[in-house]
Amino acid sequence: MKAELIAVGTEILTGQIVNTNAQFLSEKCAELGIDVYFHTAVGDNANRLLSVLEVASQRSDLVILCGGLGPTEDDLTKQTLAAFLGRNLVFDDEAMAKLDRFFASRPGRVRTPNNERQAQIVEGSFALQNPTGLAVGGMIEQDGVSYVVLPGPPSELKAMFTRSLQPLLIQSSQQLYSRVLRFFGIGESQLVTVLADLIDKQTDPTLAPYAKVGEVTLRLSTKATSQEVADQRLNQLEEEILQRDKLADYFYAYGEENSLVQTVAVRLVAKQESIAIVEQGTGGLLQAELSLALENQAYFSGGKVIGQQGTGSGRCWEEAGRIRQDLQADLGLSVSVLIKPESTEDNVLAKVCLALASTSGIAQMEVDLGGYSWSHIRQLAVMQALDFVRKTL
């Protein structure tokens, strides 16, 4: 289903308000498997709104109009839509009853004839009741196009969409199901190159890469009638992806809100192991992130921070064993960032030395971090350390 959103209100065009309704509706439509192809904003002018409706009716299956349902003369959305469709406006009984109750409970408020405009709908529409306001919305289908009118105030629009409109849209559309795969140790350009043919020929399911600091995520999406059907499609695509060029070695977790530090914390808890950390050159960033990853779980024994810059791999090896013994932890991790002499203020060149001590001995590795800003180098060093622990676990 192809949809477009039409925001009605001169205040949007003059910059007095931000059109947050478009963001909300686009997100919700995407969740329902409805493709939003166009956003339009038009002022409180009947002729211009008519011209926008004419264009929308030729290119979209669903047209959602927001705003212009109030009692004043410039609230003309329903009147203009009725004229465009060649229909009359009629009163909705339920909306009129709510209007009656509203003014009956407020003796000091004067009810004027224009208040009743809020209870009107386009003839033949399915009324969308307003849980938080007085202006009734509506949905009507004509010539293969569905038209929806929603109020402009976000609190009213969101409530009406969720309670009244969304159930109708669910009945007539497939939902969008997504799965997020997280990768560390491979850049976005390399990942895209490996998956170039899948990306080029994608229809449904689709895949979209997103680069973040030190990692890349892949969002797999499909439109389906159920979670079971969606899982079958997404499983097949995921299997094909992870078989490419050892991409499974870089894959570490699922989920939009997941992270390396969360993954490591969960694995430590699952194995009932604790870790102690000593950091050189990262300012305690790793300890801060790890200690906050999970609440009320005894997986982090503590640690210490040594100096502004790291030392060699030998010292790193010694510190890992020492911190493990001192804090009586199952694992002792030493992280040491070494700044190269050719570094500049804007381009810090560094490598990180890592050592992980356990009952079975000490594992070590060094990773070149490249050249970035100092804050970026610190974050990369922390992520390399977390991935090192993850693979060991």
Summarised one tens digit per residue, pLDDT across range 344-353 is: 888 989 999 9
Summarised one tens digit per residue, pLDDT across range 69-117 is: 988 878 899 999 999 999 999 999 999 999 889 888 887 777 777 788 8
For tokens 């009359």, name the residue: 88
Beta-bridge partner residues of 4: 38, 63
Summarised one tens digit per residue, pLDDT across range 47-64 is: 999 999 999 999 998 999
- In angstroms, the CA 332 to CA 107 distance is 73
- In angstroms, the CA 106 to CA 26 distance is 37
pLDDT given at position 311: 58
Mean pLDDT of 208-222: 91
More confident residue, 308 or 5: 5
Using only the alpha carbons of the chain, give its radius of gyration.
29
- In angstroms, the CA 276 to CA 299 distance is 9
Helix (H, G, I), strand (E, B) or coil at 1: coil
- Give the pLDDT band (50/70/90) at residue 173: low
- In angstroms, the CA 66 to CA 148 distance is 8
- Give the pLDDT band (50/70/90) at residue 172: low
Helix (H, G, I), strand (E, B) or coil at 106: coil
- The burial class, CB within 10 Å (0-12 / 13-18 / 19+), for 32 is middle
Q: Which long-range contacts (CB under 8 A, 24 or more apart) does 227-235 make?
A: 227/177, 230/175, 230/177, 231/177, 233/204, 233/205, 234/177, 234/179, 234/205
Helix (H, G, I), strand (E, B) or coil at 338: strand
Mind listing the domains of the chain with CATH numbers? 2-171 (3.40.980.10), 175-254 (3.30.70.2860), 260-392 (3.90.950.20)
- Give the pLDDT band (50/70/90) at residue 309: low
Summarised one tens digit per residue, pLDDT across range 355-375 is: 999 999 999 999 999 889 988
Residue 43 has pLDDT above 70, yes or no: yes
